[in-house]
Amino acid sequence: MLQPLLFCYQALPCTALEPQVKRSIARPELSRCRKHELQLANSRECTEEAMELTKDSSITMNDGNRIPVLGFGTYSPEGVPKSQAKEGVKVAIEVGYRHIDGAFVYQNEVEVGEAIREKIADGTVKREEIFYTGKLWSTFLSPELVRTGLDKSLKALQLDYLDLFIIHWPFSFKPGDNSLPMDENRKVIYHSVDLRATWEVMEACKDAGLVKSIGVSNFNRRQLELILNKPGLKYKPVCNQVECHVYLNQRKMQEFCKSKNIVLVGYSVLGSSREKDWVDQTSPVLLDDPVLLKIGQKYKKSSAQVAMRYILQQGVVALAKSFTPERIRQNIQLFDFHLAPEDMEAIDALNKDMRYVHMKSISDHPEFPFNDEY
Ligand SMILES: NC(=O)c1ccc[n+]([C@@H]2O[C@H](COP(=O)([O-])OP(=O)(O)OC[C@H]3O[C@@H](n4cnc5c(N)ncnc54)[C@H](OP(=O)(O)O)[C@@H]3O)[C@@H](O)[C@H]2O)c1
């Protein structure tokens, strides 16, 4: 089972193939920002509301469902035993995370599903309190394969439905059992798919009750507009999940998504797991940034907590992964402080539009998302 994932990373040296890949009910919703009624609170005008964030805060998406603002990432770096994903998810649920971010291509949905079901069985949570995101991998983008891709995740997880199902990447690979099909020159074999046709089957999955909400990931503006402008569009994407952190603050994508009532979900907010095979080892270590460390001293918080709070205060959903129990606990201690405007501005100044997950080896794919400005 692990082999295709290992293959996937080893085969793409120095590239970034994506590692593979409420407000409380009593509080006003984040989307009801005073100055922007019914718009997302991902602008600085809404800092006041952002200060009221709690660990149970969520954002109302454009289909009426709610997404918790803090999510637990489950991508397992190469060589990490899958049991760690299971234990990590169990600890996360015990300490209060209710949003779990997974994917077929992470090859650990069996363990993640076991953890969720065990925490339901022992009475810690009810299924309806958990928000699970699954992702459609690139070998399943052909319309006739979307349902197959979803069924594989549901079967592995042993869940009846996903809360959110997103297209993992806009580029399609040759369908088949290998998640990363390659030719004799070890070049990934591409496939051509009309993303609008893929989206129509995503809509059908929602209508069938197999998923509550549908969205996309790693789409650029053009690709989002392709879906939004599709004749006969039934459901808009509820979210775009993209890399988002202090060195890549996604300001333009944030503004665009806000204008379309699409939630931005940020991944690698801590600077990724920095795997040698796909992250440039000379790239700056985000959690060592002196500005984050200094601001952390002011609030008696770690650089990780400052980096995460910065994302949340913009109305962006923050995903963070850790399989270390102490860090899992630390990463949810984000709701007893707020960053002052001058600290938000100091962190804004760190932006350098720098990706950890750059996927350069497939930058010639017609649907490669990162050749556009955003
Ligand atoms: N849609 C996509 O294409 C995509 C791409 C990338 C990621 N994602 C999702 O986003 C999630 C998060 O992104 P990510 O996994 O790339 O990385 P991340 O959350 O930015 O960083 C994870 C790394 O940070 C370490 N860490 C966690 N908390 C820490 C703390 N308090 N202090 C110091 N180090 C800490 C973790 O180590 P330990 O685990 O050893 O504690 C791990 O090495 C993924 O797991 C996945 O669910 C989606």
pLDDT of residue 49: 54
Output the CA 92–ligand 1 centroid distance in Å: 13
For a pocket test of ligand 1, which of 322, 330, 357 has the largest count of ligand atoms closer than 8 A to its C-beta?
A: 322
Average pLDDT, the chain: 89
142 pLDDT tier (thresholds 50, 70, 90): very high
The phi and psi torsions of 3 (rounded to 5 degrees) equal -55, -50
Q: What is the DSSP letter of 176?
A: S
pLDDT of residue 50: 55
Percent of the chain, pLDDT > 90? 84
Atom 38, ligand 1: residue with shortest CA distance: 322
Q: Which residues are tagged catalytic?
A: 106
Using the predicted structure, report yes or no on whether residue 202 has a pLDDT greater than 70: yes
Structure-block tokens of residue 243: 């890399």
CA distance 236 to 232: 11
The atom number, within ligand 1, closest to the CA of 74 reads 45
The atom number, within ligand 1, closest to the CA of 75 reads 45
For a pocket test of ligand 1, which of 319, 323, 330 has the largest count of ligand atoms closer than 8 A to its C-beta?
A: 319
Structure-block tokens of residue 356: 């950890």
> Residue 189, exposed/middle/buried by CB under 10 A (0-12, 13-18, 19+)?
middle
Output the CA 322–ligand 1 centroid distance in Å: 6
pLDDT of residue 15: 29
256 pLDDT tier (thresholds 50, 70, 90): very high
CA distance 266 to 289: 19
How many residues are recorded in the chain? 374
Structure-block tokens of residue 111: 């363990």
Ligand 1: residues with CB < 6 A are 18-19, 21, 73-75, 101, 168, 217-218, 241, 267-273, 287, 302, 304, 319-324, 327, 330-331, 357
Output the CA 191–ligand 1 centroid distance in Å: 29
Roughly how many angstroms between the first and final C-alpha of the chain, as a whole number? 35
C-alpha gyration radius of the chain: 19
Q: Are 100 and 116 in contact (CB under 8 A)?
A: yes
Q: What is the pTM of this model?
A: 0.91
pLDDT of residue 277: 85
CA distance 359 to 370: 9
Output the CA 269–ligand 1 centroid distance in Å: 7
Atom 36, ligand 1: residue with shortest CA distance: 322
Q: Once rounded to an integer, what is the mean pLDDT over residues 61-88?
A: 96
pLDDT of residue 309: 98
CB atoms within 10 A of CB 161: 18
For a pocket test of ligand 1, which of 321, 331, 334, 358 has the largest count of ligand atoms closer than 8 A to its C-beta?
A: 321
Closest C-alpha to 302, from 268, 265, 332, 345: 332
Q: Once rounded to an integer, what is the mean pLDDT over residues 286-294?
A: 98
Sole residue written with tokens 């984050």: 292
Output the CA 33–ligand 1 centroid distance in Å: 29
CA 266 to chain centre: 6
Amino acid at 31: S
- Buried (b) or exposed (e) across 216-238, using 16+ Cβ within 10 A? bbbbbbebbebbeebeeeebbbb
CA distance 239 to 225: 13
Q: Once rounded to an integer, what is the mean pLDDT over residues 270-285?
A: 94
Atom 47, ligand 1: residue with shortest CA distance: 73
CA distance 363 to 372: 11
pLDDT (tens digit, 9 = 90+) per residue, 125-137? 999 999 999 999 9
